[in-house]
Amino acid sequence: MSECPSRSTLIAYECGELEDTDARPVERHLRECATCRQLMSEARATDPDGQVLRKVFSETGEALTGDAGRSPAAATTDADPSTTSTPTPTGSSGRSGGGLTGPPAPSDWRVPDYERVQLCGEGSYGAVWAVRDRVGVFRALKLIDMDRLERANITCHELPALETYCRKVSRHVNLITVFHVGQVDQCLYYTMELADDQSRRGPVQEEFPENFRPLTLSTLINVGRMSVDVAMELGVRVLRGLARLHELGMIHRDVKPSNVVFVNGHPKLADIGVLTGEDKSGRVVGTPKYMPPDRVMDKSADTFAVGKVLHEMIFGKDDPSFPDVPDDERWIGAKWNRKRVAALIRRACEAEAKDRYPDAAMMLADAEACAEARDKSLFDEISEPEPPPSNKLPAHVLVELGFAFADRLPWIIGGAIVLYLIYKFL
Amino acid sequence: MEETRSSLLDRVRDLGDSDGWVEFDQFYRPMLTRYAKARGLDPNDAEEIAQQCMTAIVNQIGRFERHRSFRAWLRGMVDHKVADLFAVRHRVKLADSAALGDVAGRKAADGVWEAEWNESHLNALLTNLRDSFAEHTLKAFELYVICSYAVEDISRLLDMTPNQIYVAKSRVIKHIKQHFGDTLDGLYGVWP
């Protein structure tokens, strides 16, 4: 019989901390040594974690394992149990574990007509992928595992939000465009415009960059403080998108730098996951850091968030001066009217809803009024709203469909008057 | 890419994590509403209490000290809100409202709170484990830790080496402690 391993080796073995190669001699030894087996039994019996879990699991009448309720995709994410180096069960896919609902949507999904290109980001119940469509255009695709949400008893905000957004919002240069909503197996998915690439500072065209990362306002804020000129140009664009939502009776509820993405250089308000109609506002939803202190989640909460974002752009992330707007040297290169910009941010970030801008349109009007003294806009060339697509059918189609009369009615009436006048004078 | 985070409570303490907050709200709001109803409030008042609690949590979670029991903290908060509401309803001084809360069945509600807490968290734990681990890993954990089978028997049943069994059960335990340690505090009164 081989020499007994040390007590610490036995404990490490019982705790699953030994590699297979180190574990094999211990296994062989235990088959022969009653003393060491006894030590192992004692360690197992007195393990406090084991005692606690036995008690906890004995309270449920449900077996932990079995086919019921198991996600088929989950099995494929579990690492080989023979390895000891995987700290989280989903480690290889790079997911964020944690939370009560566990890892988000599966990574082995397939959506007809879209080819997976790269995982761009994950929340706890959704993942966003860069995909390529049938004609080679890159899009962003968000995937939500509805089955998992349902089993975890979590309501999906995304579907009602999408219904509201897609029905009401036509294209707007400062709002992300949703192209398609669908379902495959138990996953809800929708495709959107793909953000510009961080490193290229431009759109992804023919070749997908190896280390693509979406360009968001958060990226720019992390680089450093912006001049008031740049911050206001961006803020005005965000407000234009937000004003459109408010005008249509919707509240975004999660305005923050990482939800402002750049598409072809246009700042666009994205992530409509918790968007809601005015009638359903009030619930504390969103990102606490950008919520007003009174937690009144109406349109004024959206304008509060824009004010906070403006403050971050100008004074830096988590600047202790917030919500004050210090009149000091940190106003870099101000060509906008600093006093007005300061008043704008102060009012947007008032603690009580009644003192804040009631909606984005009011804030936008004030923001644009701050621009009196500015030079030519840095962004005017690229971010003027796109003209709405012409809805008028060509003349020959109108003639063929019998609309020609209505179209030409003014000319016919005019001609008749002219003929009448000629007749009268002759 | 988001970094790995340890628990929902940690994520809510990070005020920039909106997903964490949504998850937290959807998990705890129904529990708080059911508890408030059990304290004798009508559905509208119960929902109002839950809303007040969620608002208070957002404002105070940053100051919540990790060594404290989250369950006790939340229970204290909801009881306080219920007592306030009783005080308003019955137009009594705030100092007497705690007594009114007791009259309204605080002690009887202890059992409801325990049952709500245990059931909600246990279901979440089971769902999470089933979604996070392959079946053979969970089976090894279940047979070894919960059912106390001999490792040789499990080895034969599941066709795994003893070391694979130890690794599997350790991973599951580590996962439970990492992700559920703080929100499961006091589950069935046994969590250390």
Taking the CA of residue A24 and the nearest CA in chain B, the distance in Å comes to: 8
> Quick count: other Cβ atoms within 10 Å of Cβ A76?
12
Which residues in chain A have their CB less than 8 angstroms from residue B7's CB? Answer: 98-99
On the question of pLDDT at A378 being above 50, the answer is: no
Single out the residue in B126, B154, B184 at which a domain terminates.
B126
Model confidence band, residue B107 (pLDDT cutoffs 50, 70, 90):
low
User: Given an 8 Å threshold on Cβ–Cβ distance, is B127 in contact with A101?
Assistant: yes
Q: Where are the beta strands (DSSP E) in A170-284?
A: 178-184, 187-193, 250-251, 260-263, 266-269, 276-277
Whether residues B98 and B71 share a domain: the answer is: yes
Same structural domain, B115 and B161: no
Range B37-59 average pLDDT: 87
| CA proximity to A252, closest of A236, A238, A266 | A238
Residue whose structure tokens are 């297979």: A20
In whole angstroms, give the CA distance from residue B133 to residue B154: 18
Question: Largest alpha-carbon pair distance within chain B?
Answer: 69
- Does residue B62 sit in the same domain as residue B147? no
With 90 as the cut, is the pLDDT of residue A191 above it?
yes
Chain A closest CA to B103's CA: distance in Å? 30
Please report the pLDDT score of residue A131 as a whole number.
Answer: 93
Distance CA A141, CA A178 (A): 10
Is the predicted pLDDT of residue A288 greater than 80, yes or no? Answer: no
User: What pLDDT was estimated at residue A154?
Assistant: 60
ipTM: 0.71
Same domain for B120 and B137? no
For B130, which of A17, A70, A94 is closest by C-beta distance? A70
Least confident of A30-44, A164-178, B58-72: B58-72
Measured from the Cβ of residue A398, the count of other Cβ atoms closer than 10 Å reads: 16
One domain, residues B58 and B146: no
pLDDT at B1 over 50: no
- Report whether pLDDT(A251) > 70: yes
Q: Where are the domains of chain A?
A: 7-58, 115-382, 395-425
For residues B119 and B91, membership in a common domain is answered with yes
Query: Domain span at residue B32?
Result: 1-126
Average pLDDT, chain B: 77
CA dist., res. A301 & res. B174, Å (int): 40
B126, B148, B173 — which closes off a domain?
B126
| Across A196-200, average pLDDT | 84
At residue B105, does pLDDT exceed 80? no
Q: Which pLDDT band, with edges at 50, 70 and 90, does A348 fall under?
A: very high
B85, B103, B126 — which closes off a domain? B126
Q: Percentage of chain A with pLDDT > 70?
A: 73
pLDDT over 90, % of chain B: 8
CB contact under 8 A, A98 and B146: no
Q: Which chain B residue has the Cα nearest residue A297? A: B55
B13 by Cβ neighbours in 10 Å (0-12 / 13-18 / 19+) ranks as middle
Question: What is the pLDDT averaged over residues B150-165?
Answer: 86
Determine the average pLDDT of the residues in A28-41: 84
- The more confident residue out of A308 and A14 is A308
Question: Best interface-test mutation with A: which of B11, B163, B180, B190 has the largest number of A CBs within 10 A?
Answer: B163
Q: Say if residue B103 is in the same domain as residue B190.
A: no
| Residue A10: predicted pLDDT | 85
Taking an 8 Å cut-off on Cβ atoms, the answer to whether A70 and B135 are in contact is yes
Same-domain check for residues B151 and B110: no
> Do B7 and B79 belong to one domain?
yes
Residue A107 confidence (pLDDT): 56
**Which has more confidence, A219 or A55?**
A219
Looking at the structure, tell me whether residues B10 and B84 fall in a common domain.
yes
Q: What's the total number of domains in chain B?
A: 2
3-state class (DSSP) for residue A70:
coil
pLDDT of residue A32: 85
Are residues B42 and B5 part of one domain? yes
Rounded Cα–Cα distance for residues A90 and B132 (Å): 7
Among B11, B13, B166, most A C-beta atoms within 10 A, so best to mutate, is B166
CB contact (8 A) between residue B134 and residue A15: no
Which CATH number is correct for A115-382, 1.10.1670.10, 3.40.50.300, 1.10.510.10, 1.20.1440.60? 1.10.510.10
- Asked whether residue A203 carries a pLDDT value surpassing 60, the answer given is yes
The band of A73, judged by pLDDT with boundaries at 50, 70 and 90, is very low
> Nearest-CA residue of chain A relative to B137?
A81
Tell me the pTM: 0.58
Same domain for B66 and B120, yes or no, is: yes
User: Under 8 Å CB-to-CB from A355, ≥6 apart: which residues?
Assistant: A347
Place of tokens 């029905």: A167
pLDDT, mean of residues A236-242: 94
- The torsion angles phi and psi of A194, rounded to 5 degrees, stand at -90, 135
Q: Which of A59, A152, A284 sits opposite B54 (nearest CB)?
A: A284
